[in-house]
Structure 1
Amino acid sequence: MTVVDARGHRCPTPSLKLQKAFHAAAPGTRITLLATDPMARIDVPFLMQDLGGRVVSIDEADGVLTIAVETPGAPTG
């Protein structure tokens, strides 16, 4: 699992860091974004829609969002 630590950064940096990790990841990889910017809760689902990934979970504890996403799986057939 890949962890992208964007705590302390404001929009659009968390999404940009996640996008960079997403493009570098293998198919079916789970990536966890750590962010303190509340806009990440809104931005990441839109980003995943654009990139073809999916949001697995969004949790918040002590002001830190933990957003798990997954890259599209390997093609079948």
Structure 2
Amino acid sequence: MAEIYDLRGLNCPLPVLKTQKRMRDMSAGDELWIETNDPLAVIDIPNFVRERGHTLITSEAVEGGHRFLLKKGAGSAPAQ
């Protein structure tokens, strides 16, 4: 089961920066839910995922914000 990373209350660029840092320590194939109420996240998170070789499994509007299910890409190993 994927963890939930609550980033509500943070504004651009913090949701992407914190997601990037969190995903560094994950293994390829691991999944992570991101929850945010930053309106720019609907643009920023998908761009981050694509640029870093991860997968955006789902993106959905929820009450008061948005949530994303991300899967860490195989080409991005955990930090050593």
Q: TM-score range by the shorter chain?
A: 0.7 to 0.9
TM-score normalised by the chain length of structure 2:
0.84
Equivalent pairs counted in the alignment come to 74
Q: Which residue of 1 is the match for residue 7 of structure 2?
A: 6
Gaps of 5+ in 2: 76-80
Paired position in structure 2 for 1:21: 22
| Deviation by residue 1:14-43 (Cα, 9 ceiling, x = unmatched) | 111111111111110111100000111100
Q: Which runs of 5+ in 1 are unaligned?
A: none
Summarize the alignment of residues 26-37 of structure 1 with structure 2, pairs less than 5 Å apart: 26-37=27-38
| 1:67 maps to 2:68 | yes
Cα-Cα RMSD: 1.3
Instruction: List, as ranges, runs of 4+ consecutive aligned residues in structure 1 with deviation greater than 4 Å.
Output: none
> How high is the TM-score relative to the length of structure 1?
0.87
Letter paired with 1:11: C
Q: 1:4 is matched by which residue type in structure 2?
A: Y
The percentage of counterpart residues that share the same residue type is 26
